[in-house]
């Protein structure tokens, strides 16, 4: 089974780390400060180890990028681009600006003509970024119990990478909807804004998107 390197120590990294471990994957979480994960590690099981950003990228056959959007490019530099060559990178980041939401609508530091994932893909052209897990709260990322299977919208330039990520999405109890190439992240990243509106304006956080088809 493929090894998973998760760059991050926040709620997304911890949730996906536990999820991959539950599904039998070997997992490493990468942080600049191991002490942040000391408590979490105690309950995370034997499949999970902690390392630096670069150790984690070297360890993973598949990488998950789960850092704050404003520092995602810095994180790639800390990881070392050479450690990402040909790897599938599940990009869970969102380009949320350090500014207050307006009437529940988050501010982005990107615009609709260029997504964060396209910028990251340009920075590491020989890695295979796949946008996923960005449009739902961490509480529902792994095997959620909605009345029907929620849809995870994904995109990226490499077909094999998207297939690889779709298998994981299926294991995690979601249906993957492949919405095209990296440019489609211009539409998928703002789904996080839409998802957060009921939460930020009415404190309702228990929903997910579903694509209906004929
Ligand atoms: N929270 C959610 O429910 C949710 C849902 C969907 C998508 N997302 C997206 O997923 C990403 C992670 O979210 P999160 O809430 O788990 O955590 P977060 O608080 O947004 O980010 C924490 C991570 O960012 C890293 N970081 C902070 N400053 C850094 C810097 N200057 N250089 C390098 N790395 C730095 C931290 O690294 P260290 O460990 O080294 O401190 C930590 O691992 C975000 O882009 C977020 O928008 C979040």
172: helix, coil or strand?
Answer: coil
Stated pTM of the model? 0.98
- The pick from 35, 37, 67, 152 for probing ligand 1's pocket by mutation, whose C-beta has the most ligand atoms within 8 angstroms, reads 67
Distance in Å, CA 100 to ligand 1 centroid: 17
Residue with tokens 């615009």: 111
Please tell me the CATH code under which domain 4-202 is placed: 3.40.50.720
What does the alpha-carbon distance between residue 123 and residue 136 come to, in Å, rounded to a whole number? 26
Q: Kindly report, residue by residue over 94-107, the tens digit of the pLDDT.
A: 999 999 999 999 99
Name the residue ranges covered by the structural domains of the chain.
4-202
Report d(CA 129, CA 63) in Å as an integer.
9
Cα(27) to ligand 1 centroid in Å equals: 18
48-107: pLDDT as tens digits: 999 999 999 999 999 999 999 999 999 999 999 999 999 999 999 999 999 999 999 999
- What local confidence, expressed as pLDDT, does residue 1 receive? 86
């Amino acid at each position: 089974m493929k090894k998973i390197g998760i760059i991050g120590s926040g709620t997304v990294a911890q949730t996906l780390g536990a999820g991959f471990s539950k599904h039998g994957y070997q997992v490493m979480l990468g942080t600049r400060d191991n002490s942040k994960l000391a408590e979490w590690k105690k309950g995370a099981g034997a499949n999970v180890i902690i390392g630096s950003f670069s150790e984690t990228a070297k360890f993973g056959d598949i990488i998950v990028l789960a850092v704050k959007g404003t520092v995602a490019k810095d994180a790639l530099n800390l990881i070392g681009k050479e450690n990402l060559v040909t790897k599938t990178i599940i990009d869970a980041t969102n380009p949320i600006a350090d500014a207050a939401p307006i009437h529940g609508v988050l501010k982005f530091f990107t615009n609709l003509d260029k997504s964060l994932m396209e910028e990251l893909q340009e920075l590491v052209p020989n890695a295979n970024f796949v946008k996923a897990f960005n449009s739902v709260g961490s509480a529902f990322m792994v095997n959620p119990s909605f009345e029907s299977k929620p849809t995870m919208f994904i995109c990226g330039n490499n077909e094999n990478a998207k297939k690889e990520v779709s298998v994981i999405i299926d294991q995690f109890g979601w249906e993957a909807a492949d919405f095209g190439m990296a440019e489609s992240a211009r539409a998928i990243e703002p789904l996080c804004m839409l998802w957060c509106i009921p939460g930020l304006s009415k404190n309702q956080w228990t929903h997910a998107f579903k694509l209906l088809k004929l």
